[in-house]
Structure 1
Amino acid sequence: MTSLWQHARRPATRDDESWSVDGNVYYGTGRPVDGKERPLTYDFEAKVRHAYKANGPVFALMMVRQLLFSEARFQFRQMRNGRPGELFGTPALAPLETPWPGGTTGNLLSRWIQNADLEGNGYVTNRNPGRLKLLRPDWVTIVTGSREEPGLPSEAIDSELLGFMYDPPTGSEPWFLLPEQVGHFAPYPDPEFQFRGMSWLTPVVREIVGDTAATRHKLKFFENGATPQVIVSFDASVTADKVKKFATLMNSEHGGVDRAYKTLYLGGGADATVVGKDLQQLDFKATQGAGETRLAAAAGVPSVIVGFSEGLAGSSLNAGNYASSRRRLADATMRPLWREAAGSLAPLIDVPAGAELWYDDRDIAFLREDRKDAAEIQGLQSRTIRQLVDAGYEPASVVAAVEAEDYSLLRHTGLYSVQLQKPGGGTAAPTTNPEVT
């Protein structure tokens, strides 16, 4: 293990490419080298500072995902012949229910998806028995290679995941964790890296920068008096000193939102010309709204759910459209995330034989309409079960066939009709009234 530990040390140099947009520098992630797939601290911190903490639409989208994701609970689900059965719980779920002193499943899931949204990867370990600990994603290095030849790159056919190195900038030696000690949540795989995920923010970084620039443009518009840009020209006879004095006076009297709409007085030789466009002429709402919609699409959250302007216009707020948007968020975004989370946490939990770790969404208020649909489906299934039992099939086989949607599981009792009489058994004797002769 010592050689593997030394092999997994983070290199001192940073030769990764970077790019700058509007004065903000963003760092990409270098290709795996010598069996190491590692994120960059700068990349993570740039998304935290310039996206999550500085951009309203990004914060709103991540908040919707986080709040809904944290509502789920975990249970075990029975598996019969490859088909899922009922949910049940055991004391083995305790680390998920209380991951750390005072912590809850919701706390764990909130932090986990926050890391995954920002970095593309969420890590949690059970290094301390009975407890879970979240690992800051930019301090984790994924170590790949061959156990016989650790230097193999992750693209080699014999390479495999060897473990994770957790290396906080404390100056101490890093911790090396085996794959079975880490729950790795990477819902969106990075196509350039075999074992690492990609943040949904990565493809829309320029959209985030554009939205931030648009917000700053709006702010500057109001700071400069909520009026279009003005060019003041002077007669050739006006000296430069007088121009400077006039500019200073004009800025002090008319600059800023508090001085908007004041009457502008010009001295001799000065002429004011309005240039540029105001926010209405720029169609500012449509411009910024389109960017918000693209961010929402990348996050998998419909605009009407998060409350963006384009989602609140026209027919988007109709009951049917809102219901379809809610269903899209639940079915195409949240349930795949919950499934991935359950699979990532399973190695850290003692899962009973014949079962799998699964999520329980039955108590989530956002999904109550889904519970109504489930009740209607159960009503149809119960009528089907009744008809098949009345037709003479064994009740246990009927339930199994309906649940599995496989009618080959049906077994007949050999009895027919509601009386379940044997074929050829004769008819019931007619009743006689002793008073009739």
Structure 2
Amino acid sequence: MNLLQRAFRRFDLASALDDASWSVNGNTYFGMGRPAGGEERSSAWDFEAAVRFAYKRNGPVFALMLVRQLVFSEARFQFRQIRNGRPGELFGTPALSLLETPWAGGTTGKLLSRFIQDGDLNGNGFITNYNPGRLKRMRPDWTIIVTGSEEEPSLSGDAIDGDLVGYAYAPQGNWDDPVFLLPEQVAHFAPIPDPEYHFRGMSWLTPVVRDITADSAATSHKLKFFENGAMPQIIVSYDKEIGPDKFAKFKAAMEAAHVGLDNAYRTLYLGGGADVTIAGKDLHQLDFKVTQGAGESRLAAAAGVPPAIVGFSEGLAGSSLNAGNYTAARRRFADATMRPLWREAAGALSTLIDVPAGAELWYDERDVAFLREDSKDAAEIQGVKSRTIRQLMDAGFEPKSVIAAVEADDFALLRHTGLYSVQLQKPGSGQPTPAAQPTEEA
């Protein structure tokens, strides 16, 4: 345990939060960052606001997060051998049982679902093995990351020797009695690094907050249209002879007869001195499909989910659903979104379990239904490789060098045995000796 970690176990976090920084043994420490006074908040926006405003109230955001979660939670974990810096086969040990049953009634899928939810909403997911034999999800807005520096205390994590000291967790935000955790006790999932900080992640929702607001506003606009009788906005004007009392009575009578869904499409009758002007547009004229469709595509791009995969309108038009285009979209989602997320999750969780020497914690995607087409492609690739291996071995190259060259895609690794042909015999050796011809008896 280094000096920073020993100090971390002793400092008074509750009083430190008042000043946003604290000193122990002459060293200054900061909680989760330093935009102003040294504190780093867990997210650029409030976690509960993200949950209630985006996840629970915005349909496109919920759909995108659900697709990511459903595919992400299908993976399992295995260990992967590393040989000479290259990955080998997958294998399992009893150490993986902690990830298979992380808590009572828990599964790997539930663990990954929590990880990706917190990562999407906050940019940071935290899991701890504080209680031996089981894991615990740490709510991100109740967790702070502690950084420290011995050489330049005023810079904390930004200093040349700035380092991660650990984590502090306060259930219900009660910082009077936090739980202190060292880095090896916490799996920190932050797939999108925040450029302003060294250890904090950033939610993909952050850059599209205004798009989420616009989409919610458009949905509210449609709702108001139907609540007002599914009629465009109109202006009713009266003759100057109409007094305030008559105006108020006429207004009340008109709203009672024409406002609301139950009064939609009723004939409008006007008395003398009243005139109606259409001031708004109906839904067809406003073309909400185009307006909201473009916004949905921007959200999908930020989430790394092609619109055709999640079922957005712009992804269901034209040639988007052709077999080739949909396959390309599915492969883009798997290769550029899911696999990097699985890799980051495996790297984070590897701090909580015993990884065998010469191996790494890795994800096993073989049972993910969404990737079955990829499995077919992989089988075809393996078939091509096997034929290449056979041809090279038949040509006289050493079997080990053939496998290494094919796996590394580097034929410079090939080594020849000096033997040729299918029989792999040395040149001139193995030629049959002509049989002696019988001689005629004299």
Residue deviations 1:78-123 (CA, integer Å, cap 9, x gap)? 1111111111111111111111111111000001100000000001
Q: What residue number does 1:209 align with?
A: 213
Residues 67 and 310 in structure 2, CA contact (< 8 A), matched pair in contact too: yes
Q: How do 1:363-382 and structure 2 match up within 5 A?
A: 363-382=367-386
Residues 33 and 197 in structure 2, CA contact (< 8 A), matched pair in contact too: no
How far apart are 1:431 and its partner, in Å?
A: 6.7
Residue deviations 1:55-93 (CA, integer Å, cap 9, x gap)? 000000000000011011111111111111111111111
Change beyond 3 A, Cα 1:198–1:338: same
Change beyond 3 A, Cα 1:416–1:95: same
Q: How do 1:79-90 and structure 2 match up within 5 A?
A: 79-90=82-93
2:324 is the alignment partner of 1:320: yes
Residues 152 and 159 in structure 2, CA contact (< 8 A), matched pair in contact too: no
Residues 98 and 104 in structure 1, CA contact (< 8 A), matched pair in contact too: yes
Most deviating of 330-339 and 138-147: 138-147
Q: What residue number does 1:126 align with?
A: 129
2:294 is the alignment partner of 1:260: no
How far apart are 1:405 and its partner, in Å?
A: 2.3
Paired with 1:109 and 1:11, the residues of 2 have a C-alpha distance of 31
Most deviating of 418-427 and 371-380: 418-427
Q: What residue number does 2:362 align with?
A: 358
Residue deviations 1:187-218 (CA, integer Å, cap 9, x gap)? 00101111100000000001000000000000
Where 1:424 maps in the other structure, the secondary structure is: coil
Change beyond 3 A, Cα 1:89–1:101: same
Paired with 1:232 and 1:37, the residues of 2 have a C-alpha distance of 55
Residue deviations 1:104-149 (CA, integer Å, cap 9, x gap)? 1100000110000000000111112221111000111100012577
2:411 is the alignment partner of 1:407: yes
Aligned partner (choices 249, 264, 284) of residue 253 of structure 2: 249
How far apart are 1:170 and its partner, in Å?
A: 4.2
Contiguous gaps of at least 5 residues in structure 1? 15-28
Paired with 1:377 and 1:4, the residues of 2 have a C-alpha distance of 53
2:118 is the alignment partner of 1:112: no
2:341 is the alignment partner of 1:337: yes
Paired with 1:5 and 1:36, the residues of 2 have a C-alpha distance of 19
Where 1:349 maps in the other structure, the secondary structure is: coil
Q: What residue number does 2:26 align with?
A: none
How far apart are 1:416 and its partner, in Å?
A: 1.7
Residues 392 and 412 in structure 1, CA contact (< 8 A), matched pair in contact too: yes
Where 1:77 maps in the other structure, the secondary structure is: strand
Residues 32 and 193 in structure 1, CA contact (< 8 A), matched pair in contact too: no
Q: What residue number does 1:11 align with?
A: 17
TM-score by length of 2: 0.90
Change beyond 3 A, Cα 1:295–1:5: farther
Residues 231 and 275 in structure 1, CA contact (< 8 A), matched pair in contact too: yes
Paired with 1:359 and 1:431, the residues of 2 have a C-alpha distance of 64
Paired with 1:229 and 1:379, the residues of 2 have a C-alpha distance of 66
Paired with 1:122 and 1:325, the residues of 2 have a C-alpha distance of 27
How far apart are 1:7 and its partner, in Å?
A: 5.6
Most deviating of 425-434 and 335-344: 425-434
* RMSD (CA atoms): 2.4
How far apart are 1:397 and its partner, in Å?
A: 3.0
2:223 is the alignment partner of 1:219: yes
Residues 149 and 162 in structure 2, CA contact (< 8 A), matched pair in contact too: yes
How far apart are 1:430 and its partner, in Å?
A: 4.6
How far apart are 1:283 and its partner, in Å?
A: 1.9
How far apart are 1:381 and its partner, in Å?
A: 0.5
Paired with 1:384 and 1:327, the residues of 2 have a C-alpha distance of 26
- Give the share of equivalent positions with the same residue, in percent: 70
Paired with 1:388 and 1:232, the residues of 2 have a C-alpha distance of 87
Q: What residue number does 2:165 align with?
A: 162
Residue deviations 1:164-190 (CA, integer Å, cap 9, x gap)? 111123465111111111111000010
Paired with 1:76 and 1:33, the residues of 2 have a C-alpha distance of 43
Change beyond 3 A, Cα 1:82–1:359: same
Residue deviations 1:6-29 (CA, integer Å, cap 9, x gap)? 364462489xxxxxxxxxxxxxx9
Q: What residue number does 1:18 align with?
A: none
How far apart are 1:433 and its partner, in Å?
A: 11
Residues 163 and 178 in structure 1, CA contact (< 8 A), matched pair in contact too: yes
Residues 36 and 141 in structure 1, CA contact (< 8 A), matched pair in contact too: no
Paired with 2:212 and 2:239, the residues of 1 have a C-alpha distance of 45
Paired with 1:35 and 1:127, the residues of 2 have a C-alpha distance of 27
Where 2:418 maps in the other structure, the secondary structure is: coil
Question: Quick one: which amino acid aligns to residue 17 of structure 2?
Answer: P
Aligned partner (choices 94, 98, 102) of residue 95 of structure 1: 98
Q: What residue number does 2:424 align with?
A: 420
Change beyond 3 A, Cα 1:353–1:408: farther
Change beyond 3 A, Cα 1:131–1:280: same
TM-score by length of 1: 0.91
Where 2:168 maps in the other structure, the secondary structure is: strand
How far apart are 1:410 and its partner, in Å?
A: 3.1
Question: Quick one: which amino acid aligns to residue 11 of structure 2?
Answer: Q
Change beyond 3 A, Cα 1:389–1:40: closer
Where 2:87 maps in the other structure, the secondary structure is: strand
Aligned partner (choices 65, 68, 73) of residue 70 of structure 1: 73
